[in-house]
Structure 1
Amino acid sequence: MSKPSAWLPILCHKFIDEHPFMFPQLNIQNYVNLSWSLWLNFAFVQNSLQASAKSKH
């Protein structure tokens, strides 16, 4: 099973590239932290959904 979370930082990067005015103070370190926190949140939500789906059956 492929993990969609792998492309999430790429989407973040694309979004930030296309909307630089929304992130004027964003430097590389902040970007890395942001993409990691989003990636971790996404992975956590996915795991929670999978766990709740399993517990229902």
Structure 2
Amino acid sequence: MRRAAAEHHCPYGRIAAAWHLSQDGTFHLGVTVPAGTSAEVRLPDGTNVEVPPGRHEFTR
């Protein structure tokens, strides 16, 4: 598997995550966190990142 995406509509709004592996094996992740919430994002290297509402991009 080289890519996946999912979304969920909660009372605060849309929660979404999508990732893909580029041709060189780089991992790309995009997450959307609704207003009034925060999220903990766990990356493949074991790093945990707390993010506020909005759109966030990660590359590893």
Task: Tell me the TM-score normalized by structure 2.
Answer: 0.24
TM-score normalized with structure 1 length:
0.25
Which structure is higher in strand share? Answer: 2
Higher RCO by CA contacts (8 Å cutoff, separation 6 or greater): 1
Greater fraction of residues in helix:
1
Report the structure number with the largest CA radius of gyration.
1
